[in-house]
Amino acid sequence: MELKKLLIIGHTFPEPNTTAAGSRMMQLIKLFKEENYQITFASTASVSEQSENLESLHITIKNIRLNDAAFDAFIKKLNPEIVVFDRFVTEEQFGWRVAEQCPSTLKILDTEDLHFLRKAREEAVKKDSPVSKANLFSDTAKRELASILRCDLSLIISDYEMELLKHTFKIPEAILYYLPLLIEQKVSKKQLPSFEEREHFLAIGNLLHAPNVDSVLQLKQLWPKIRKQLPKAQLHIFGAYAPQKIQQLHNKNQGFLIKGWAESTAVVMSKYRVQLAPLRFGAGLKGKFLDAMQLGLPSVTTPIGAEGFCGNFTFGGSVTTSKVEFINSAIDFYKNETSWEEAQKNGFQLVQNRFQKELFAKDFKTRLLQIARNLKKHRELNFFGQILQHHSLQSTKYLSKWIESKELNKNF
């Protein structure tokens, strides 16, 4: 059975130069393009200035609406062999329509990260509780896990999250697939700026993302102690969509500079000596660290920041568990070329051994074909998913139809 048509239902249009989620989506698209899929990308969102030009990649764009029966006619006519849902909320909104109109279509959920894990950790931080004590058994978890169970396969970006799903929540391994962020090029220090050629500290990340905003606020508190030891150093904050509370932190006299959106992460990262990211909550994989390790840029972060990266290898920088340790590591990497070069070497080795595309691409494509050829049996082995599909399809379906009817009646 040859799979030909693919529909991706995007939460947003991908912005690979702005978010790790955007880069992840483009990596998935490339994997499918290599197998000659005819790709349609549909979304309820609008295209932004930073959105990838999908049409230049011969991808068909389709604008869709929530609670709109026009989607039923659209997908029935398209009749794709595979549908990829971009995050669980997209599956909630459109999964029942796909199941109803195209029952034999293979349904894949790209989780990006486990939203319920990120939200639980954020709540713990707000309550000044350890993230290890975060309440994972939330309503969001029920929704996201139900979405995972309804799909034929869910793509999990972090091996930590794979273990959490399998062991804490007993999700069948047959419907999970570990597919992290991927890189294609070999990495080495050749042609990269040296320790002496780099200067200043960097913090980077989409500033619509709550963990990144909190990280910058933490840096505002930590930076004076770092600057006291390194009076000529500056900290440059890059990220799109900075809210006012971040913009107003800009202070040239303190060397704390809000720089805005970085058009090229690679160009920017290559100039700096150390990346700082005191992340207190979050989930998935943080693309900023994978980018940094490829570019020979050591990072100072937390266990949350480094989660899902290391396996049996050493992080490309320092994973700190206290503010004092964070400050000392930042200063050490900035001043000590030997420490800096060791961190850089660790980063190269980690990326080379855990995130090369060639380690995953062939197996992923084989797995999809295996499931597609045995879809009926595959679904029978996940009978709880069929039960959830039946009940949630009915409740979501009729709520959606009620909203749809209400919208239509407003026009009369």
Q: In what order do the strands lie in the sheet with 106-110?
A: 60-63, 38-43, 5-10, 82-86, 106-110, 153-156, 176-178
pLDDT tier for residue 386 given thresholds of 50, 70 and 90: confident
This prediction has a pTM of: 0.91
Could you tell me which residues come within 8 angstroms of residue 200 by beta carbon, excluding any fewer than 6 positions away?
233, 234, 235, 236, 271, 272, 273
**Three-class DSSP category at 137:** coil
End-to-end CA gap in the chain: 48
> What's residue 125's pLDDT?
96
Asked if residue 214 and residue 139 are part of one domain, the reply reads no
Asked if residue 176 and residue 263 are part of one domain, the reply reads no
- How far is it, in rounded angstroms, from Cα 104 to Cα 80? 9
pLDDT tens readout for residues 177-231: 999 999 987 767 778 999 999 999 999 999 999 999 999 999 999 999 999 999 9
> What's residue 262's pLDDT?
87
Asked if residue 143 and residue 218 are part of one domain, the reply reads no
| Dihedral in degrees, nearest 10, Cα atoms 210, 216, 222, 225 | 180
Farthest-apart Cα atoms in the chain, separation: 74
The amino acid occupying position 319 is V
Asked if residue 72 and residue 90 are part of one domain, the reply reads yes
Query: At residue 61, what are phi and psi to the nearest 5 degrees?
Result: -100, 135
Which of 355, 376, 402 marks a domain boundary? 355
DSSP readout, 59-118?
A: -EEEE--TT-THHHHHHHHH--SEEEEESHHHHHHHHHHHHHH-TTSEEEEE-SS-HHHH
The yes-or-no verdict on residue 387 having pLDDT over 90 is no
The yes-or-no verdict on residue 408 having pLDDT over 70 is no
- 187 within some domain: no
pLDDT tens readout for residues 134-185: 999 999 999 999 999 999 999 999 999 999 999 999 999 999 999 999 998 7
Asked if residue 268 and residue 141 are part of one domain, the reply reads no
- 194 within some domain: no
pLDDT tens readout for residues 340-359: 999 999 999 999 999 999 99
What is the domain-level CATH number for residue 88?
Answer: 3.40.50.2000
- 173 within some domain: yes
Two tokens, residue 333: 């990497």
154 close to 111: Cβ distance less than 8 angstroms: yes
Give the angle 301-304-309 at the CA atoms, nearest 5°.
Answer: 85
Asked if residue 148 and residue 230 are part of one domain, the reply reads no
Residue 276's domain comprises 201-355
> What's residue 409's pLDDT?
64
C-alpha distances (whole Å) from 122 to each of 12, 52, 281, 319 are 23, 30, 6, 19
- 205 within some domain: yes
Asked if residue 159 and residue 15 are part of one domain, the reply reads yes
C-alpha distances (whole Å) from 69 to each of 72, 207, 267, 372, 405 are 5, 35, 46, 27, 10
pLDDT tier for residue 2 given thresholds of 50, 70 and 90: low
Asked if residue 376 and residue 342 are part of one domain, the reply reads no
pLDDT tier for residue 310 given thresholds of 50, 70 and 90: very high
Among the ranges given (25-29, 183-187, 298-302), the one the predictor scored with the smallest mean pLDDT: 183-187
pLDDT tens readout for residues 90-136: 999 999 999 999 999 999 999 999 999 999 999 999 999 999 999 99
Indicate the pairing of strand 153-156 with strand 106-110.
Answer: parallel
pLDDT tens readout for residues 233-289: 999 999 989 999 999 999 999 999 999 888 888 899 999 999 999 999 999 999 999
The yes-or-no verdict on residue 412 having pLDDT over 60 is no
Please state the separation of Cα 102 from the chain's center in Å.
28
Which of 355, 373, 392 marks a domain boundary? 355
Asked if residue 349 and residue 363 are part of one domain, the reply reads no
Task: Name the domain count of the chain.
Answer: 2
Q: Which long-range contacts (CB under 8 A, 24 or more apart) does 395-403 make?
A: 396/92, 396/95, 396/96, 397/96, 397/100, 400/66, 400/67, 400/93, 400/96, 401/67, 403/66, 403/67
Asked if residue 395 and residue 311 are part of one domain, the reply reads no
- 193 within some domain: no
pLDDT tier for residue 402 given thresholds of 50, 70 and 90: low
- 342 within some domain: yes
230 close to 331: Cβ distance less than 8 angstroms: yes
The amino acid occupying position 266 is A
Asked if residue 177 and residue 53 are part of one domain, the reply reads yes
- 36 within some domain: yes
- 188 within some domain: no
> What's residue 396's pLDDT?
60
Asked if residue 322 and residue 209 are part of one domain, the reply reads yes
> What's residue 401's pLDDT?
64
